[in-house]
Structure 1
Amino acid sequence: MGDRPRRPRPGRLLAGPRLDEEAAEWALLAQIDTDVAADMMCGDAGTLYWLTRPAVRVRA
């Protein structure tokens, strides 16, 4: 795994400095809000966030 820190297991919460380190690795691609006029709801009148890790490369 090299020098990269281990990823938390799914469902495990991060806190403190570890949370800040993990959050710094993500970039926001899209943010979609609930729009009642368009009859579109994200969850319970919430917002949908689509994130990615910029360091991840997509193979063509």
Structure 2
Amino acid sequence: MLKLSDEALGAVMMALQKSLMEQSDIVPVLKGFNFKVNEEDELYVMNPPMVKLKANDNG
């Protein structure tokens, strides 16, 4: 049985944060994940989403 690695769980949380910030659908991000199995028989995400923050122009 496979489980999510801590990294994979973090990638899911980043995908959720990204979809909330951009008000976009999370499904394409999740479907785009490339997985591999690590040494502990856990799923590892090879391409976690990147969340970009905008600089604050208020000083």
Q: TM-score, normalised by structure 1?
A: 0.27
Greater strand share, structure number: 1
Q: Which has the larger radius of gyration?
A: 1
Greater helix share, structure number: 2
| Relative contact order, higher structure (CA 8 A, sep 6+) | 2
